[in-house]
Amino acid sequence: MGDSRSNPHEPLAKARRKAKVIEAEIQSASDQAGVIGAVLSQELPATVQQGDVAQAIRQTGELEHQLAESAASLADVSAELGREILKGRKVARQLGKSQTQVEKLTGEAAKARTTGNTRKR
């Protein structure tokens, strides 16, 4: 991986890679919370699922939901970063082509001036 001077899109690409890793970690935590909640609600007798235990089971379900939403939001951010990286690369290619055309035209203009000056003598 080059530095940001050789690849100006690398910071965004690096952020996107980190976002994808974090997204997977959050989704995994959500899945684990879902398993815990399911086990607690299915394995504990109804007589135990009262008060604090019932509240813990509900909160585990809420946590699972919140984590899943966070993972989805992070996936959206990651996708947006991906789109911005692609846009930036396209603009960079277009800029490179434009710079090449300017250099070519500048060279041709300089050559024409030199040729024109030589003919006047």
- Reduced to 3 states (helix: H, G, I; strand: E, B; else coil), residue 8 is coil
When comparing pLDDT for 120 and 100, which is higher? 100
Going by pLDDT thresholds of 50, 70 and 90, the confidence category of residue 93 is very high
DSSP string computed for 15-69: HHHHHHHHHHHHHHHHHHHHHHHHHHHHHS-TTTSSHHHHHHHHHHHHHHHHHHH
Q: How far apart are CA 47 and CA 2, in angstroms?
A: 61
Range of the domain at 68: 10-85
Q: How many folded domains does the chain comprise?
A: 1
CA distance 119 to 121: 5
Mean pLDDT, rounded, of the chain: 89
- Tell me the per-residue pLDDT of 20-37, one tens digit each, with 9 for 90 and over: 999 999 999 999 999 999
Query: How far is residue 30's CA from residue 23's CA, in Å, rounded to a whole number?
Result: 10
For residue 121, the model assigns a pLDDT of: 53
5 falls within a domain: no
118 pLDDT more than 80: no
Classify residue 46: in a domain, yes or no. yes
Distance CA 14, CA 2 (A): 11
Confidence of residue 4 (pLDDT cuts 50, 70, 90): very low
pLDDT tens for each residue of 36-59 = 999 999 999 999 999 999 999 999
